[in-house]
Structure formats: structure tokens, C-alpha cells
Amino acid sequence: GAGVSQSPRYKVAKRGQDVALRCDPISGHVSLFWYQQALGQGPEFLTYFQNEAQLDKSGLPSDRFFAERPEGSVSTLKIQRTQQEDSAVYLCASSMGVNSNQPQHFGDGTRLSIL
Amino acid sequence: RKEVEQDPGPFNVPEGATVAFNCTYSNSASQSFFWYRQDCRKEPKLLMSVYSSGNEDGRFTAQLNRASQYISLLIRDSKLSDSATYLCVGGVSGGYQKVTFGTGTKLQVIP
């Protein structure tokens, strides 16, 4: 398919474990975003990449959260020493350019549950 | 105050009704606006962009009121399939396209 692909679709981890979530954006899309969505809330911004450069990580809740996009395509969001409050849906979105007038295309998300 | 605010609803309307949602934004520098639709346990999908002059796509009409800093979405002749959460999005142009999502307005169309 030509859409944004995320894996795994579901992830269950024990508190304290590290997890890694993958995002494969639409081919050629320059911009890539990670969001966290809690139940009943809108997506909350975590971090933004323009190609391989992480231009904004102001939304990352703590230093346990780390994201990378080393070759400007696939991105990984890593959460270390997971806590129960990390349980949420993690959404990845990509867009073609860098202007705010261009819509973002979302992946299905990874539903993370921390036990 | 949240940067983008929406009434969470739910809005319960009968099939065929017209329903309107408003969304207010606090950042006067916001220049780009969108409405996304999100079905239960699915990802957000772009419904429509919101242009300064207002725009219409079939049964859906979006309007922007810069003076009062709100955008609106009007749905005419509601269908059962319109039941979803509608997310308002505002963006500021400034280096890159950071956008802020509202919490969403839930619509339930009843037979």
C-alpha cells in the first residue's frame, strides 16, 4: 500500500520494559510526526522530523522517550523503562512538504498497553 | 487555555438533520486549518481543509472566522455513516508545519 505503515499494531509490555515503535511514512514525504493519543482525547504532538533532522521534540513527555529517523524515511519511537501512564495509541503521520497548509496522513497507530 | 478547543459532545442527531460544530483557536497567528474525521479505534483521516473564503464538499461546509477566531463544520442531510469524532486542527506557519489538534467532537447519527 501507499499509506503510512506502523508496527506493531498492538504492543503489551510490563512496566519497566523498553519498547520500540516503527513508522514507515509515505515514500517521498519530507515531514514526519509522532503523536500520542489517550482515550477520548485528540492526538498530542510528540516530535517532528524534516527528513532526518529532528526539528522539534518539545512534546516528548520525558527523557525516557526517544525518536530517530536516521535515513530520512523510516522512524522509530523508543520508550525506555515504560510506565503505566505511557499506555496510549501512538500515531505517526507524514506529509509531503514542510508547510502547515499541507495535510498530514496518518498510520493506523500502535496501541501500547503497559501492565 | 488549550490552543484549540472543541465541544466534546456527544451530538446525537436524527438521520437527515443538519448539524454544526464550532472550534475556537487561541493563537491568532494560526493560518492553516483542517477538519479530520476519526472513527472509533481508527486513525484520523482528513475530511477537508478550511480556506479563508470557506469551502464546500458535498454535504460538508467549512468556514473560517478570523475575527472571532473560530472555524466551523456544517453537515447537511446527516447519514448514519457520518457517526464519528470530528477533530479540528489549527497550524501556524513558521519554519515547519506544526499543528494542534482539538480533543474532538463526537457525532452520533440516530436512525
Q: Given a cut of 80, is residue B1 above it in pLDDT?
A: no
Res B69: pLDDT? 92
Position with higher pLDDT, B96 vs A7 = A7
Question: Tell me, what's the pLDDT at B93?
Answer: 63
CA-based nearest distance A15→chain B, Å: 24
3-state secondary structure of B58: coil
The one-letter amino acid at A88: A
In chain B, residues with a C-beta closer than 8 Å to the C-beta of A94 are none
Which tens digits make up the pLDDT trace of B44-77?
999 999 988 889 999 999 999 999 999 999 999 9
> Tell me, what's the pLDDT at A98?
81
Q: Chain B partners of A104 at a C-beta cutoff of 8 Å?
A: 46, 97, 99
Whether residue A70 has pLDDT greater than 80: yes
Is B73 within 8 Å of B21 (Cβ atoms)? Answer: yes
How far is A67 from A48, CA to CA, in rounded Å?
A: 9
pLDDT mean across residues, chain B: 91
User: Rounded to an integer, what distance in angstroms lies between the CA atom of residue A110 and that of residue A106?
Assistant: 11
Residues A57-90 as b or e (16 or more Cβ within 10 Å = b): eebbeeeebbbebeeebebebebeebeeebbbbb
Chain B nearest-CA residue for A89:
B41
**How far is residue A103's CA from residue A96's CA, in Å, rounded to a whole number?**
8
Q: Name the residue among A42, A102, A107 with its Cβ closest to that of B97.
A: A102
Quick one: closest CA in A to B44, which residue? A106
* pLDDT above 60: residue A1: no
Per residue, the 3-state secondary structure of chain B, as one string, reads CCCEEECCCCEEEECCCCEEEEEEECCCCCCEEEEEEECCCCCCEEEEEECCCCEEECCEEEEEECCCCEEEEEECCCCHHHCEEEEEEEEEEECEEEEEECCCEEEEEEC
Residue at A100: amino acid letter:
S
Task: Evaluate if residue B92 carries a pLDDT over 80.
Answer: no
Cβ-contact A49, A69 below 8 angstroms: yes
Cα B53–Cα B55–Cα B61 angle in degrees, nearest 5: 125
Matching residue, cell 525518536: A67
Whether A112 shows a pLDDT value over 90: the answer reads: yes
Q: What is the pLDDT of residues A44-55, one digit of tens each?
A: 999 999 999 999
Question: A49 to chain B: nearest residue by CA?
Answer: B96
What confidence tens digit (pLDDT) does each residue in B11-42 have?
A: 999 999 999 999 999 888 888 899 999 999 99
Overall average pLDDT of the A98-102 stretch: 77
Cis peptide before B10 (omega within 30 of 0): yes
